[in-house]
């Protein structure tokens, strides 16, 4: 039988009915300390859930480490719902580094103590690290929280001031949690208490409406009546209060504090200085209800962790106190270990023993279920035995898709065991009730990585790379490359409008009206400044013509190859079978939407009789290899051999391990050919391959040599093709004609390019990061031995590894000596581009196999290699790197369950250029994937486009800019496919009214330009209606000038679609002049007659002209003209 999430409640009731649980419940009425033992799997989550429900009080669960907390939180959220579970994490940053804790940690801590203040019973999950960390007092929390309700009176200026005092940052657009923005009578806030930001619209001093809105679109999505605002930081102090406190210090004290507060005292990281500023603090214990019950999962480990934390903090304090005598002592920063243990001892508490049994407590007697090693046959045998013995079997899957996969794998049990959806991590056996609980994680040995779930909705921010700043280089399709100088209001025949002002060579100026905004794009091409075009010259037309020809030639070749390949007969592989279902069910993670789309596209290609040639693009860790593994299994299941070609020996080794781990449950032989195999081993592998005894062969360019024949080749998987030489690529072309081909690349390819190449290249983009990937804590600091020492020691102590990027090869050896002297107990490997290929590979392999703790390297950290154990990166002289480089380098860490750290080491702040300072600030503030790095990503995507299309095309991208290149490519592909577009048909419009967005309506220029662009980019009247709705939603009601602008663009769209070359509206008289040889249809003329029976004239003496006159009573002739033209579009 199949069951829904009620499986969890059924099992909870079963668990609560056991004699052990009933005995525990009785003991809690009379004893303050109870030891329990004999729990297994995720059973403690069921126990804790039932305790909260039946005791009707808050349960505080203390676990030794964050990883254990994340797993338990996940189980508890499955059983109780997210609202009941309150994580209370540590800051996860080092004391005395003076950096702010990650915002998501602060948000979670503050939301937890805020919810505890309501008195509603909950389950708090925390660690020793978090218990010692101080927070706001109850009084500070109460004074810092307030409600916003529809109908309330609230002075808008006072609201903004209050938000600033609570630590919220005022921004032009609210895109990130902890920020707010004000536009006229609208206030947008992203508080910790909401998954989405909220929009408050005022009518005078009263709140007229409150709406949740999307970060992605900035559009409202739901109305709410009330929202609670809580502080953004765990320290509340105004700038005025700070100044009063600081004024009492002597000069030497102030100077020392200024060293730590380079951006002024009210800066991130001020939390650490709270004791010096005499700011009251409290701990979690002060926010708990008196009857709270503590639950400790492993008391000896918890006490060990507290001892280690105390020892580490004392050691760090001794290191910094000489340089900074004012540094607060550990006793001032943290709650002492003895106090923590005493607080727990003075409450009712349950101690779960990890080993052994409890003499005078409660023994549950539960058991782990047997191991299946991913073998469905073993599972079937055990289930048959259990059913014979009349036992109840529950098989729980992480999600509905997984449940359906298991039902397809085990159809014979559909009515005999309970299939359910529940994400609990581990199963268990309850002998007393003959209940067996199995999870798909354990059946398939899925190594699930859990983090605390992010509450806040994510999405690409609206301020994309297209947002224009004064001085940016831009490209006009007709006039070439210039510099954006802002918006300028101009008057034409007494009517007002705003234009883009572009400066060209020799200081020539061009004013671009709104209807031409679509012909202007931000220039993104090469690093540095492009050459400005001279207005009136022929150079731009020559560049454009040259680019068009090159694009047309390339597109023609691509389409010819595409068509030839589609026409050529290939092998159709069989549909999914039990092997595929078993492999998919054993995937350790939940597939992302992009990943599922790519997998389906590959399967569809392989089922087709046409040969597959598909490119999969996605960053390291985004799941490309899993797509390739499923394709490989389908090919092997179809009786074919698979070749996996990689550019380096290291990647070959990684792929061998990954393929064997994922496909180990099947009778599939996987081998490797690389220099890591002896000559004899390679000879034997080739012999077995040619005898068809090897199903999947993984190798470097050795696979491309002519002496190696794969007799039954069905699929070629190529990883990072752009890194192969010309000769190898030519050989690949021949192989592609013999089998299906799947190419993987970690260099991002822009979606615009994918769309431009529709019908010329099959491509799948995996741009979605894995679910719940943690943000990387990023710190900018001056190069100091202490920081390097602590960062490396911290990472190695938690069994991790470190990248140290030093991008000066001539001094890398001296840096190596420096690190060895500073950290004599740490093993440091050196890698840079001037080493021999084999020498470099040996170092990288040594690092991969953990022969080194630190890899000191130039900026050549291999983009294709995924090393989850590396969770700290130190970038020396980060000021010398571009934003895209910093983004890509930082992305090498943060791929496991551990919190990752990036240290950007720079010279003293005063020595940095403004550009470097802005760049570093951007990467420090935007620590999430996809949050504010659109320009950096654009740079990377252009490199990706160059890699895919070749060096010559990359040169043209630099000449005309990336967006124009994509536009020309799209037009070339459409033309070759016989498609036509009306985008090049020019319409001239003359009207006698104001058409612009007043500055008083949208104050910020970048936002105004963004809206102008949306209006200009509209392809239909429906698109314009959406822009109008967005304007009303985000900025409030707009005036006639803005409505005129929207109507003007609607006229433009309808005129272009109907080949009307000129539209003139003057004094209430409308004239429509058709292009040469163009005429309206008979049906259109009839509809026009019906729309304006008394006001139409037709003139065909010189082309075809329609005239209409609106009555004097018409207040907005432009709106009337738009309605009339609608008759042409019906």
Q: Strand pairing partners for 125?
A: 61, 87
Nearest alpha carbon to residue 368 among 425, 300, 450: 425
pLDDT tens digits, 967-976: 888 788 877 7
For residues 998 and 503, the answer to whether their CB atoms sit within 8 Å is no
Q: Could you tell me if residue 972 is inside a domain?
A: no
Which residue, 363, 395, 426, sits at the end of a domain? 363
Which residue, 407, 433, 459, sits at the end of a domain? 459
Q: Which domain holds residue 13?
A: 1-18+365-459
Torsion 839-842-848-854 (CA) sign: negative
Residue 1096 has pLDDT above 50, yes or no: yes
Considering the domain architecture, whether residues 784 and 900 belong to the same structural domain is answered as yes
Considering the domain architecture, whether residues 740 and 593 belong to the same structural domain is answered as yes
Per-residue pLDDT, averaged over 621-648, amounts to 93
Considering the domain architecture, whether residues 701 and 598 belong to the same structural domain is answered as yes
Per-residue pLDDT, averaged over 374-388, amounts to 88
Considering the domain architecture, whether residues 85 and 171 belong to the same structural domain is answered as no
Per-residue pLDDT, averaged over 1090-1106, amounts to 79
pLDDT tens digits, 27-71: 999 899 999 999 999 999 999 999 999 999 999 999 999 889 999
Report the pLDDT value the prediction gives residue 1076, as an integer from 0 to 100. 83
Q: Could you tell me if residue 816 is inside a domain?
A: yes
Q: Could you tell me if residue 797 is inside a domain?
A: yes
Report the pLDDT value the prediction gives residue 471, as an integer from 0 to 100. 86
Report the pLDDT value the prediction gives residue 1082, as an integer from 0 to 100. 87
Report the pLDDT value the prediction gives residue 262, as an integer from 0 to 100. 43
- Total domain count, the chain: 6
Residue 19 has pLDDT above 90, yes or no: yes
Residues 6+ apart with CB under 8 A from 374: 443, 444, 445, 582, 586, 664, 665
**Backbone dihedral angles phi then psi of residue 450, each to the nearest 5 degrees:** -110, 140
Residues 6+ apart with CB under 8 A from 283: 131, 132, 133, 134, 135, 335
Tokens of 224: 């709410």
The share of the chain scoring above pLDDT 90, in percent, equals 38
Report the pLDDT value the prediction gives residue 527, as an integer from 0 to 100. 61
pLDDT tens digits, 916-973: 776 676 666 555 443 334 444 555 555 556 556 666 676 777 788 777 877 888 788 8
Q: Could you tell me if residue 273 is inside a domain?
A: no
For 649, 768, 1018, 1040, the CA distances from 1028, given in Å and listed in that order, are: 56, 30, 11, 12
Q: How confident is the model at residue 1091 (pLDDT cuts 50, 70, 90)?
A: confident
Q: How confident is the model at residue 466 (pLDDT cuts 50, 70, 90)?
A: low
Per-residue pLDDT, averaged over 667-680, amounts to 90
Which stretch of DSSP H or E encloses residue 202? strand 198-203
Report the pLDDT value the prediction gives residue 299, as an integer from 0 to 100. 92
Q: Could you tell me if residue 1028 is inside a domain?
A: yes
Q: How confident is the model at residue 20 (pLDDT cuts 50, 70, 90)?
A: very high
Considering the domain architecture, whether residues 318 and 420 belong to the same structural domain is answered as no
Report the pLDDT value the prediction gives residue 983, as an integer from 0 to 100. 58
Is the model more confident about 1128 or about 47? 47
Considering the domain architecture, whether residues 84 and 233 belong to the same structural domain is answered as no
Considering the domain architecture, whether residues 1034 and 1105 belong to the same structural domain is answered as yes
What per-residue string of b and e applies to 357-380 under the rule 16 or more CB within 10 Å gives b? Answer: ebeebbbbbbeebeebebebeebe
CATH of residue 1077's domain is 3.90.1150.50
Residue 747 has pLDDT above 60, yes or no: yes
Report the pLDDT value the prediction gives residue 667, as an integer from 0 to 100. 93
Per-residue pLDDT, averaged over 215-222, amounts to 86
Report the pLDDT value the prediction gives residue 207, as an integer from 0 to 100. 94
Helix, strand, or coil (residue 799)? coil
Q: Could you tell me if residue 238 is inside a domain?
A: yes
Q: Could you tell me if residue 276 is inside a domain?
A: no
Residue 601 has pLDDT above 80, yes or no: yes
Considering the domain architecture, whether residues 184 and 310 belong to the same structural domain is answered as no
H runs (alpha helix) in 389-538? 400-409, 440-443
Is the model more confident about 633 or about 756? 633
Tokens of 982: 């009306």
Per-residue pLDDT, averaged over 994-1015, amounts to 89
CA distance 1074 to 1057: 11
CATH of residue 76's domain is 3.40.50.11180
Q: Strand pairing partners for 213?
A: 220
Which residue, 726, 746, 766, sits at the end of a domain? 746
The share of the chain scoring above pLDDT 70, in percent, equals 88
Residue 804 has pLDDT above 80, yes or no: yes
Question: In the predicted model, what is the mean pLDDT of the chain?
Answer: 84
Report the pLDDT value the prediction gives residue 206, as an integer from 0 to 100. 93
Considering the domain architecture, whether residues 593 and 716 belong to the same structural domain is answered as yes
In this structure, of 196-205, 259-268, 582-591, 1119-1128, the range with the lowest mean pLDDT score is: 259-268
Q: How confident is the model at residue 2 (pLDDT cuts 50, 70, 90)?
A: very low
Residue 887 has pLDDT above 80, yes or no: no
pLDDT tens digits, 326-378: 788 999 999 999 999 999 999 999 999 887 676 778 999 999 877 777 778 88
Residue 571 has pLDDT above 50, yes or no: yes
Q: How confident is the model at residue 259 (pLDDT cuts 50, 70, 90)?
A: low
Q: How confident is the model at residue 218 (pLDDT cuts 50, 70, 90)?
A: confident
What per-residue string of b and e applies to 511-547 under the rule 16 or more CB within 10 Å gives b? Answer: ebbbbbbbbbbbbbbbeeebebbebeeeebeebbeeb
Q: Could you tell me if residue 489 is inside a domain?
A: no
Look-up of token digits 């960062």: 791
Helix, strand, or coil (residue 811)? helix
Tokens of 98: 């003076």
Of the ranges 159-173, 525-539, 980-994, the best mean pLDDT one = 159-173
Vertex 540 angle, CA 537 and 544, to 5°: 150
Report the pLDDT value the prediction gives residue 302, as an integer from 0 to 100. 95
Torsion 236-238-244-249 (CA) sign: positive
CATH of residue 583's domain is 3.40.50.300
**Confidence (pTM):** 0.74
pLDDT tens digits, 88-116: 999 988 787 777 788 889 999 999 999 99
Considering the domain architecture, whether residues 146 and 100 belong to the same structural domain is answered as no
Considering the domain architecture, whether residues 609 and 686 belong to the same structural domain is answered as yes
Torsion 744-745-749-753 (CA) sign: negative
Considering the domain architecture, whether residues 4 and 143 belong to the same structural domain is answered as no
Per-residue pLDDT, averaged over 221-239, amounts to 88
CATH of residue 230's domain is 3.30.2060.10
Report the pLDDT value the prediction gives residue 932, as an integer from 0 to 100. 35
Q: How confident is the model at residue 732 (pLDDT cuts 50, 70, 90)?
A: confident
In this structure, of 347-361, 648-662, 826-840, the range with the lowest mean pLDDT score is: 347-361
For 385, 762, 800, 864, the CA distances from 595, given in Å and listed in that order, are: 38, 15, 28, 18
């Amino acid at each position: 039988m199949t069951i829904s999430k009620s499986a969890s409640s059924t099992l909870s009731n079963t668990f609560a009915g056991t004699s052990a649980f009933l005995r525990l419940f009785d003991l809690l009425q009379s004893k303050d300390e109870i030891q329990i033992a004999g729990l297994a799997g995720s059973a403690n989550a069921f126990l804790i859930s039932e305790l909260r429900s039946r005791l009707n009080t808050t349960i505080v669960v203390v676990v030794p480490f964050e990883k254990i907390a994340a797993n338990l939180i996940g189980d508890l959220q499955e059983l109780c719902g997210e609202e009941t579970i309150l994580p209370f994490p540590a800051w996860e940053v080092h004391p005395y580094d003076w950096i702010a804790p990650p915002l998501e940690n602060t948000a979670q801590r503050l939301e937890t103590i805020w919810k505890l203040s309501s008195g509603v019973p909950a389950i708090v999950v925390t660690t020793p690290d978090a218990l010692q960390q101080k927070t706001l007092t109850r009084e500070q929390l109460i004074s810092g929280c307030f409600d916003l309700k529809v109908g309330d009176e609230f002075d808008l200026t006072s609201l903004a001031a209050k938000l600033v005092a609570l630590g919220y940052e005022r921004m032009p657009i609210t895109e990130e949690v902890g920020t707010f923005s004000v536009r006229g009578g609208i206030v947008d806030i992203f508080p910790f208490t909401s998954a989405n930001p909220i929009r408050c619209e005022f009518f005078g001093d009263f709140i007229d409406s409150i709406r949740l809105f999307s970060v992605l679109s900035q559009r409202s999505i739901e109305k709410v009546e009330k929202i609670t605002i809580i502080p953004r930081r765990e320290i509340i102090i105004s700038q005025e209060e700070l100044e009063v406190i600081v004024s009492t210090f002597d000069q030497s004290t102030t100077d020392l504090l200024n060293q730590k507060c380079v951006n002024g005292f009210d800066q991130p990281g001020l939390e650490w200085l709270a004791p010096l500023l005499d700011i009251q603090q409290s701990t979690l214990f002060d926010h708990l209800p008196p009857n709270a019950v503590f639950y400790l999962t492993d008391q000896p480990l918890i006490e060990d962790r507290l001892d280690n934390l105390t020892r580490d903090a004392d050691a760090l304090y001794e290191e910094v106190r000489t340089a900074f005598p004012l540094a607060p002592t550990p006793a001032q920063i943290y709650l002492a270990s003895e106090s923590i243990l005493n607080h727990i001892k003075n409450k009712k508490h349950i101690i779960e023993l990890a080993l052994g049994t409890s003499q005078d407590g409660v023994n549950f007697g539960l058991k782990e279920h047997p191991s299946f090693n991913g073998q469905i046959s073993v599972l079937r045998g055990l289930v048959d035995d259990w059913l014979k013995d009349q036992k109840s079997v529950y098989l729980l899957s992480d999600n509905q898709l997984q449940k359906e996969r298991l039902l397809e794998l085990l159809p014979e049990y559909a009515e005999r065991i309970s299939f359910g959806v529940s994400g609990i991590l581990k199963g268990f056996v309850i002998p007393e009730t003959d209940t067996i609980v199995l999870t798909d994680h354990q059946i398939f040995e899925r190594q699930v990585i859990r983090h605390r779930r992010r509450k806040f909705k994510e999405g690409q921010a609206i301020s994309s790379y297209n947002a224009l700043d004064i001085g940016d280089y831009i490209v006009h399709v007709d006039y070439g490359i210039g510099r954006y100088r802002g918006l300028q209001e101009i008057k034409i025949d007494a009517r007002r409008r705003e234009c883009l002002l572009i400066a060209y060579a020799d200081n020539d100026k061009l004013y671009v009206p709104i209807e031409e905004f679509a012909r202007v794009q931000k220039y993104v091409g090469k690093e540095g400044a492009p050459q400005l075009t001279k207005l009136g010259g022929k150079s731009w037309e020559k560049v454009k013509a040259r680019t068009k020809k090159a694009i047309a030639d390339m597109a023609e070749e691509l389409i010819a190859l595409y068509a030839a390949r589609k026409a050529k007969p290939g092998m159709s592989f069989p549909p999914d079978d039990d092997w595929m279902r078993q492999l998919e069910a054993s995937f350790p993670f939940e597939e992302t939407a992009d990943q599922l789309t790519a997998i389906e596209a590959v399967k569809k290609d392989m089922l087709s009789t046409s040969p597959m040639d598909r490119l999969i693009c996605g960053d390291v860790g985004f799941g490309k290899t899993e797509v390739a593994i499923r394709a490989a299994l389908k090919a092997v299941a179809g009786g074919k051999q698979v070749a996996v070609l990689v550019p380096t020996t290291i990647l070959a080794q990684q792929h061998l391990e990954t393929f064997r781990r994922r496909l180990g449950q099947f009778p599939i032989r996987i081998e490797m050919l690389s220099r890591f195999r002896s000559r004899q081993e390679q000879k034997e592998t080739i012999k077995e391959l040619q005898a068809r005894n090897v199903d999947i062969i993984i190798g470097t360019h050795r696979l491309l040599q002519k002496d190696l024949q794969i007799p039954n080749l069905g699929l070629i998987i190529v990883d990072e093709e752009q890194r192969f030489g010309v000769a190898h690529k030519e050989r690949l072309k021949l192989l592609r004609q013999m089998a299906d081909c799947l190419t993987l690349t970690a260099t991002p390819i822009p979606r615009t390019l994918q769309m431009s190449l529709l019908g010329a290249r099959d491509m799948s983009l995996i741009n979605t990061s894995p679910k719940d990937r943690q943000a990387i804590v990023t710190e900018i600091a001056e190069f100091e031995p202490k920081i390097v020492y602590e960062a490396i020691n911290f990472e190695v102590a938690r069994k991790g590894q470190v990248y140290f990027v030093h991008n000066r090869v001539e001094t890398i050896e001296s840096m190596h000596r420096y690190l060895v002297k500073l950290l004599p107990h740490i093993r440091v490997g050196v890698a840079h581009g001037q080493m021999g290929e084999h020498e470099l590979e040996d170092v990288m392999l040594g690092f991969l196999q953990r022969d080194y703790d630190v890899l000191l390297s130039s900026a050549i950290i291999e983009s294709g290699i995924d090393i989850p154990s590396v969770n700290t990166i130190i970038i020396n002289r980060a000021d010398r790197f571009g934003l895209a480089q910093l983004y890509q380098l930082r992305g090498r860490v943060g791929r496991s369950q551990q919190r990752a750290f990036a240290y950007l080491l720079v010279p003293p702040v005063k020595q940095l250029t403004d550009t470097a300072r802005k760049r570093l600030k951007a990467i420090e503030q935007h620590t999430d994937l996809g949050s504010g790095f659109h320009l950096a990503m654009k740079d990377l995507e252009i490199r990706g486009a160059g890699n895919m299309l070749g060096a010559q095309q990359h040169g043209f991208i630099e000449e005309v800019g990336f967006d124009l290149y994509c536009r020309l490519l799209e037009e070339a592909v459409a033309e070759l496919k016989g498609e036509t577009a009306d985008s090049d048909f020019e319409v001239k419009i003359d009207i006698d009214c104001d058409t612009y967005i007043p500055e008083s309506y949208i104050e910020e220029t970048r936002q105004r330009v963004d809206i102008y662009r949306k209006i200009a980019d509209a392809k239909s009247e429906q698109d314009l209606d959406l822009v109008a709705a967005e304007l009303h939603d985000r900025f409030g009601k707009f005036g006639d000038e803005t409505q005129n602008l929207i109507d003007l663009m609607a006229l433009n769209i309808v005129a272009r679609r109907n080949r009307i070359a000129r539209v003139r509206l003057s004094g209430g008289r409308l004239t429509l002049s058709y292009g040469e040889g163009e005429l309206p249809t008979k049906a259109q003329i009839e509809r026009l007659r019906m729309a304006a029976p008394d006001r139409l004239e037709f003139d065909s003496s010189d082309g075809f002209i329609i005239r209409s006159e609106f009555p004097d009573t018409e207040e907005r002739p432009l709106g009337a003209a738009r309605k009339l033209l609608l008759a042409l579009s019906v």
